[in-house]
Amino acid sequence: MQYDSVVPDAPQVRPREAARGRDADRFLMAETGSALAALFVSDPERLTVLDSRARPRDLRDAYDALPPGAYVAMALRFNGPSRLARLRILLVLRFRAAALRRALAETGAVDIRCFGLCQELEEPTLAYELGSAGERHAERSFLTRSQSWPLAIVRESLRRWSGCHPSLDALFIVGRKP
C-alpha cells in the first residue's frame, strides 16, 4: 500500500488496518476510519481531510490533486487543556471557522458545509450540521445544559458568539471540488 504525503521529505505514517479515506495531519496524509467519512459525504473514498493548521499551499496542493466531484475538508479541533484555554479558543472560534471557510472557497471548493463533532474527531459520538434541525435537536436532547441560570446565560452567550455549542470538541468544514 502506497502512502501519500503532502511534503516529500516528511516521514510516513502507518494507518489502522480497517481504515479508508485520507486524512492529513499538518503535513502528512494518513488513512482515517470509514465511519467519519461516511457521516459527511456520499463517497468516503473521495474525501481528503486536512488539519486546520495546514499551510494554504498544502490545502491548494491537496485540492489540486483531487478529481472532480471529490471532497476536501478542514478539521478544526478546539479542546483546550483548561477551562480558561477553552474559553479563549471559543472566543476566537468564529473568526477561525470563517478563515477556514474562506480558504476552502479560495481553492475553488463549492457546497461548503460545517459540522460540529463531540468527543473524537476520528469516531465522533455525535455529529451534526451547524444551522440544521439536527443542531437544534442535539442541543435540546444530547448536549450538556447548565443547571444554574447564570451559567446557562454564559453558555448561551458563548454558543451565539462562537456559532456552535460550547461542549463540542471539533468543527469539520467540508467542500466539494466542482
Q: What is the pLDDT along the chain (178 residues), one digit of tens a residue?
A: 443 444 444 334 334 343 344 444 333 343 444 555 666 666 667 788 888 888 888 888 889 988 998 888 888 888 778 889 989 999 999 999 999 999 999 999 999 999 998 877 777 888 889 988 988 898 888 888 888 899 889 989 999 999 999 888 889 999 999 9
- Residue matched to cell numbers 466539494: 176
Q: Residue 114: what pLDDT? A: 93
Q: Cell numbers 450538556 label which residue?
A: 144
Contact 78, 90 (CB under 8 A): yes
- Tell me what pLDDT residue 125 has: 84
- Residue 129 burial (10 A CB sphere; 0-12, 13-18, 19+): middle
Cell of residue 17, nine digits: 488496518
Cα 65 to Cα 55: distance, rounded to the nearest angstrom:
16
Are the CB atoms for 116 and 165 separated by under 8 Å?
Answer: yes
Measured between alpha carbons, how far is 1 from 14 in angstroms, rounded to an integer?
10
User: What are the start-end ranges of the H helices in 14-171?
Assistant: 34-40, 56-65, 83-107, 133-141, 149-162
pLDDT at 47: 81
Contact (Cβ atoms closer than 8 angstroms) between residue 176 and residue 110: yes
Q: How far from 98 is each of 80, 94, 101, CA to CA, in Å?
A: 20, 6, 5
Per the listing, cell 494507518 goes with 15
Residue 49: all three cell numbers together: 481531510
